[in-house]
Structure 1
Amino acid sequence: MYELGGRMSRPVAKPVRRADARQNVEKILEAAIACLGRDPSTSAIQIAECAGVGRMTLYGHFPSREALVEAALTRLLDKGDQVLEGVDLTGDAPAALCALIESSWLLIAQSSAVLEAAQATLPPTRVRDLHAKPEQRVNNLIARGQAEGAFRDDLPRTWLASVLHYIIKGAATDVASGRLDPTVAPRFISETVLAAYAPAPSEERSTGR
């Protein structure tokens, strides 16, 4: 391209995010997930220290702790969604539940901890919007299991979903403290949840025991 007078002009370059900036974002998000997973009240400054970046760098990418918490939760939910897209949840309900636990129990545990931070930080409507898809996936699976007689139907599916998350979070805590081998955690979680979801024998249901 030439300007009047025969001088060559340089094309205007589109702004490109520097590689180190992208790396900083990744380090900050991973640090946020790790720190909030251990303590949902972790400050943005503590997360910056964990990520090995300065506070100005952190705030340059995330203008507030609220924005950082939301980004960390979104990152985890996206990871979980990618994992579960490849898991067949359409077959036998108990088998599908075990497949869900096997493939994503650690991500669910991490997102539960970061969700706790989000609930204390973000507007309730925003938290519900972010968490709606994974929550609906679990609720749909439980509802199908109840309809097929594979899961108990004398308790609300929302409560059964909460039981699943409590057990997963407890397993993650035991793994972190060294009380539980992570290689057996999925089996322990699955067997405990399936026992909790098992329909009561018909005689107990009829007598209300």
Structure 2
Amino acid sequence: MPVTTGRRADAQRNVAAILDAAAACLVRDPDASVSDIAAAAGVGRVTLYGHFSSRTELVDAVFVRAMTRAHETLDAVDLDGDARQALARLVESSWQVVDESRMLLVAAQRALPPERIRELHESPLRRVRALLERGRADGGFRSDLPADWLVAVFYTVVHGAADELGAGRLAATAAPSAITATLLAAFTPPGERVLADALPLDPS
């Protein structure tokens, strides 16, 4: 029993080391190879393949872990009260999560099929959809367009900002205000004033 327990503990340490190394390598280079990741983890390729049968499976595991941690972070965001103010708070936290994991998303998009990427975003998107539905019900958000389309707009704008940041065309400090302003303009019912008070403070 102690031998078995020790082997299991060694395996868990190896998996944790591989996932940590893979995340770090993929952030630096979304096309990092299995050899690069194994070397960074301090294990051999045989050991790595003993836990992950392919690079695709490893990238999937890294992205699942990142999305799980993101979900836990966003669970702490207060989404009560005015839906537009709540949207600003969600963008502030969501953006930090996306900014931290944007290169992992690039790696995932290159290795995984689009339907898998969408599946792994389902939990965060359910949170967005619930907030939008509440805002639509109380008149803060437009109801003349399908809710699924508004969710897609949220997803597209946030990840578009990540792309702009990566290209050097958007500063990280300016991103929350830019995203929130764009989403509020898109979500506010036609003819109504966009709630400027919901915008994060401009760091400039």
Partner of residue 63, structure 1: 53
The answer to whether residue 163 in structure 2 is matched with residue 169 in structure 1 is no
Partner of residue 207, structure 1: none
Q: How does 1:22-33 map to 2 (within 5 A)?
A: 22-32=16-26
Higher Rg of the two aligned structures: 1
Could you tell me how far 1:48 is from its partner in structure 2?
Answer: 2.9
- SS of structure 2 residue aligned to 1:59: helix
Structure 1 unaligned blocks of 5 or more:
1-10, 37-41, 203-209
TM (norm. structure 1) is 0.72
CA offsets per residue over residues 158-209 of structure 1, 9 Å max, x none?
Answer: 111111121111211221222211011111111111111110028xxxxxxx
State the AA in 1 paired with 2:156.
Y
- Report if the CA contact (8 A) 1:119-1:127 is conserved: yes
Could you tell me how far 1:76 is from its partner in structure 2?
Answer: 1.7
The answer to whether residue 95 in structure 2 is matched with residue 105 in structure 1 is yes
The verdict on how the C-alpha distance between 1:114 and 1:150 changes in structure 2, with shifts beyond 3 A counting, is farther
Structure 2 CA distance for aligned equivalents of residues 155 and 61 of structure 1: 46
Identity in percent: 35
The answer to whether residue 129 in structure 2 is matched with residue 120 in structure 1 is no
CA offsets per residue over residues 1-42 of structure 1, 9 Å max, x none?
Answer: xxxxxxxxxx73422227973333311133335544xxxxx4
Structure 2 CA distance for aligned equivalents of residues 179 and 50 of structure 1: 34
Q: How does 1:24-63 map to 2 (within 5 A)?
A: 24-32=18-26, 35-36=29-30, 42=31, 44-45=33-34, 48=37, 51=40, 55-63=45-53
- SS of structure 2 residue aligned to 1:152: coil
Structure 2 CA distance for aligned equivalents of residues 152 and 196 of structure 1: 8
Cα-Cα RMSD: 3.0
Q: Of the candidates 76, 79, 96, which is equivalent to residue 69 of structure 2?
A: 79
- Report if the CA contact (8 A) 2:88-2:180 is conserved: yes
The verdict on how the C-alpha distance between 1:47 and 1:187 changes in structure 2, with shifts beyond 3 A counting, is farther
- Report if the CA contact (8 A) 1:32-1:47 is conserved: no
> Size of the alignment, in residue pairs?
184
Partner of residue 188, structure 1: 178
State the AA in 1 paired with 2:158.
I
The verdict on how the C-alpha distance between 1:107 and 1:35 changes in structure 2, with shifts beyond 3 A counting, is farther
State the AA in 2 paired with 1:23.
A
State the AA in 1 paired with 2:147.
R
Structure 2 CA distance for aligned equivalents of residues 66 and 171 of structure 1: 26
Runs of 4+ in 1 over 6 A off after TM superposition: none
Structure 1 CA distance for aligned equivalents of residues 36 and 139 of structure 2: 46
Structure 2 unaligned blocks of 5 or more:
193-204
- Report if the CA contact (8 A) 1:152-1:198 is conserved: yes
Structure 2 CA distance for aligned equivalents of residues 138 and 43 of structure 1: 32
- Report if the CA contact (8 A) 1:146-1:152 is conserved: yes
